[in-house]
Amino acid sequence: MTNSSQTRVWLITGSSTGFGRMLAEAVLDQGETVVLTARNPQQVEDLTAKFPARTLAARLDVTNPTEVREVVKVAIATFGRIDVLVNNAGYGTLGAIEEVSDEDIRRQFDTNVFGALDLTRAVLPYLRQQRSGHIINFSSVGGFVSFPGSGIYCSTKFALEGISEALAQEVAPFGIKVIIVEPGAFRTDFSGRSLVVSDTQIADYEPVIGQYRQWVQDIDGQQPGDPKKAASAIIQSVNNENPPLRLALGADAVNAIDAKLKSVKAELDAWRKVAVDTAFEGVVVSGIGG
């Protein structure tokens, strides 16, 4: 079957729950086509039954490179194209930097960074050939502002933002847009079922992260953000001719990012003379350094 209509084909990872599920439902409701990927595709069977001509359910563990390549091939074979890649699959780890195990750190990066990177690299040749498309990478307010107790999680999102910022500039000449989504606290299962809490808890860190650890767990089911409204905002950004590179979602995300920007600017200004007075005498510095 080929996609004879001009409706977009979306490939959404982690589409069985949370943001991925809400976005998939919203896209289907507006008449577009979705490749629904999940580690357990049975969880999206209701959507494939409701929209049989415009859905494809596929098993995908983003940490499995073979499955990543296969799902892209099947999507292209079925619908002839991919227009919007949504790297949504991911989860959080809670614990101080010293507390989280080596295994948990690597698993967190494998899913949140390398999984998204593998899928992006697998889809890019098709988007370049089309000279169009969108790549939506789910970051977090924690991809711009790091918090004690979630440094490992935040570091994966910082990495994803660095990749996305460079990628946006690399693919702009081909008509491909990159959008980094930075949600605050939304009512998904992020703080519940999807959250990995470190088994090791060091007493010294309790005054620093204990309150944050408790807040993350207590807010589960009480988050202010509505995932349906987030899905609508994402679709609105994709439909815009000039979408934002970063799309913060939620007043909490906007406020935290705004405060970080002001803090960075104040510190940069306070240390400006020390910073710039490091060149060889007579050398004028401009452009990229580092």
Query: Which CATH number belongs to the domain containing residue 127 in this structure?
Result: 3.40.50.720
Among residues 15, 16, 91, 139, the one annotated as catalytic is 139
Q: What are phi and psi of 229, to 5 degrees?
A: -70, -30
How much is the pLDDT for 94? 92
Please determine, for residue 4, whether its predicted confidence score (pLDDT) is greater than 70: no
Residue 281 in any domain: the answer is no
Residue 168 in any domain: the answer is yes
Is position 91 annotated as part of the catalytic site?
no
Among residues 15, 16, 150, 153, the one annotated as catalytic is 153
How much is the pLDDT for 282? 87
CA distance 8 to 6: 6
Assessment of whether the complete model's pTM goes beyond 0.95: no
Which tens digits make up the pLDDT trace of 96-105?
999 999 999 9
User: In the chain, what percentage of residues exceed pLDDT 70?
Assistant: 93
Is position 198 annotated as part of the catalytic site?
no
Please determine, for residue 175, whether its predicted confidence score (pLDDT) is greater than 60: yes
Which tens digits make up the pLDDT trace of 203-226?
999 998 988 888 777 777 667 688
Is position 139 annotated as part of the catalytic site?
yes
For residues 81-96, average pLDDT: 95
Residue 229 in any domain: the answer is yes
Whole domain around residue 93: which residue ranges? 9-259
For residues 141-153, average pLDDT: 95
Residue 89 in any domain: the answer is yes
Residue 288 in any domain: the answer is no
**Domains of the chain: total:** 1
Residue 278 in any domain: the answer is no
The CA distances from residue 10 to 72, 81, 107, 174, 192, in Å, are: 11, 9, 26, 18, 27
For residue 236, how many C-alpha atoms fall within 13 Å in the half-sphere facing its CB? 8
Residue 119 in any domain: the answer is yes
Residue 50 in any domain: the answer is yes
